[in-house]
Amino acid sequence: MTQALDLTFAALADPTRRAILTMLLEDDMAVTDVAEPFDMSLAAVSKHLGLLTRAGLISQEKRGRVKWCKLEPDALKAASVWMQGFGQFDPVNLEAFERFLARELPERS
């Protein structure tokens, strides 16, 4: 479980890979179409796709001569469950915190 989470978060750490995942939300895409909006080589995009595949976030399949990428929607489930464990804390009310500080700290001259 830990290794899978590590791979997931490593994949999500890069803005290019997050952009690729967002693109694949719409539909499956050919690798060349995935690479088109990025200012990098096809080989560099392929490395990003390889990491996303190893993390299980996407799958790649060859259809004829074209390699296609598909989002794997259940892949983020384990990461989501792990992150929900941190949701038990109430969000900080910044306005209340500022009022507390104003009462407790002497004013600066």
Architecture (CATH level 2) of domain 2-104: Orthogonal Bundle (1.10)
Task: List % helix, strand, coil for the chain (3-state, nearest 5).
Answer: 60, 15, 25
The single-letter code of the amino acid at 28 is D
33 confidence band (pLDDT: 50, 70, 90): very high
Q: Which residues contact 51 (CB under 8 A, 6 or more apart)?
A: 7, 10, 11, 17
Give the per-residue pLDDT at 86: 76
Question: What's the rounded Cα separation, in Å, for the pair 96 and 33?
Answer: 49
Q: Note the pLDDT of residue 107.
A: 62
pLDDT at 88 over 80: no
| Residue range 36-87, pLDDT digits in tens | 999 999 999 999 999 999 999 999 999 999 999 999 988 888 888 888 877 7
pLDDT over 50 at 109, yes or no: no
